[in-house]
């Protein structure tokens, strides 16, 4: 095995690593109520589908992807062709490719199993918080910081999801619990909007997403995100930089 220098210096143990892990848990803690609510909504939807209980738990644990699960559920229930169901889930998951590309160089020094493990813990909330907060950590501490964010998020989401599977019909849809997840994303967005480029990213991403809303399985989300990224890039390069 070739042990690269930087890979040997990555800290998983010791006081500094424990502290970084704890900061990860603390940073994601304010989102816990919303994550529970979002998991709950997903769990309830799965309990009310045609899946039996082992299938519902299996889907939740293996896929760990709220939006993809919700998009695939009606197709599973209708016994749609396998390709259609999996393709729908793929499209709903496609935004994670963008996240994965954004964090690629952060974890490139880790061995493959650890990269795969950290990648699996990726979610909207951990990604956004990590992007914002990780620069304050030394590169050798960032993986364990991400681990703190990601582990806390997955545990909380599954608690909510299992609660939803068990509670099933006893959580009325009128409570609008799915809106809690949306409010958490709004709260994550607001501090990002400090620059003109970030404002352009959000505004163009949002407008494009509205225009593309009729596409199935959130396909428009990926295109809209790319449009937002390009807009931000242009805004930054056309406004500042001495011209």
Nearer CB in complex with other proteins: 116/166: 116
Q: Which of 21, 38, 99, 145 binds other proteins (CB under 8 A)?
A: 99
- Residue 238 contacts other proteins per CB under 8 A: no
- Residue 21 contacts other proteins per CB under 8 A: no
Please give the helix or strand (H or E) that residue 40 lies within, else none. Answer: helix 32-47
Q: Which of 7, 48, 100, 133 binds other proteins (CB under 8 A)?
A: 100
- Residue 165 contacts other proteins per CB under 8 A: no
Helix (H, G, I), strand (E, B) or coil at 78: coil
Q: CA-to-CA distance for 45 and 37, rounded, in angstroms?
A: 12
Q: In sequence order, what DSSP letters do the residues of 120-189 get, joined into one string?
A: HT--HHHHHHHHHHGGGS-GGGHHHHHHHHHHHHHHHHHHHHHHHHHHGGGS-GGG-THHHHHHHHHHHH
Q: Which of 29, 71, 55 is nearest to 155 (CA)?
A: 29
Q: Which of 16, 25, 119, 163 binds other proteins (CB under 8 A)?
A: 119
Asked whether the beta carbons of 214 and 175 are under 8 A apart, the reply is no
Part in contact with other proteins (CB under 8 A); list of ranges 8-16, 25-33, 151-159, 161-169: 25-33
Query: Where in 29-88 is the site for other proteins (CB under 8 A)?
Result: 30-31, 33-34, 51-52, 55, 58-59, 62-65, 68-69, 72, 76, 79, 82, 85-86
Part in contact with other proteins (CB under 8 A); list of ranges 6-14, 15-23, 101-109, 154-162: 101-109
φ/ψ region of 11 (left if φ > 0, alpha if ψ in -120 to 50, else beta) reads beta
Least separation in angstroms between CB 15 and other proteins:
27
Size of the site for other proteins (CB under 8 A): 93
Asked whether the beta carbons of 142 and 104 are under 8 A apart, the reply is no
Least separation in angstroms between CB 92 and other proteins:
8
Nearer CB in complex with other proteins: 4/138: 4
Burial string for 118-138 (b: 16+ CB within 10 Å, else e) reads bbebbbbbbbbbbeebbeebe
Query: Where in 192-231 is the site for other proteins (CB under 8 A)?
Result: 192-193, 197-199, 201-210, 213-214, 220-221, 224-231
Least separation in angstroms between CB 168 and other proteins:
19
């Amino acid at each position: 095995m070739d042990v690269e220098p930087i890979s040997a210096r990555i800290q998983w143990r010791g006081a500094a690593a424990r502290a970084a892990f704890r900061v990860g848990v603390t940073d994601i803690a304010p989102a816990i109520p919303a994550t529970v609510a979002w998991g709950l909504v997903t769990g309830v939807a799965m309990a009310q589908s045609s899946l039996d209980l082992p299938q519902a738990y299996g889907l939740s644990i293996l896929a760990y992807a709220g939006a993809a699960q919700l998009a695939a559920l009606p197709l599973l229930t209708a016994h749609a062709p396998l390709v259609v169901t999996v393709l729908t889930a793929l499209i709903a998951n496609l935004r994670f490719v963008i996240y994965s590309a954004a964090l690629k160089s952060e974890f490139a020094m880790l061995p493959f199993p650890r990269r795969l493990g950290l990648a699996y813990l990726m979610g909207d909330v951990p990604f956004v918080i990590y992007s914002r907060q990780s620069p304050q950590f030394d590169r050798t501490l960032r993986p364990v910081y991400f681990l703190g964010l990601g582990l806390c998020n997955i545990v909380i989401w599954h608690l909510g999801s299992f609660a939803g599977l068990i509670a099933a019909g006893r959580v009325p849809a009128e409570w609008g619990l799915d809106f809690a997840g949306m409010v958490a994303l709004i709260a994550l967005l607001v501090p990002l909007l400090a620059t003109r480029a970030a404002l352009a990213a959000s505004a163009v991403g949002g407008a494009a997403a509205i225009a593309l809303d009729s596409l199935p399985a959130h396909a428009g989300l990926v295109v809209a995100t790319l449009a937002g990224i390009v807009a931000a890039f242009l805004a930054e390069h056309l406004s500042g930089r001495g011209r």
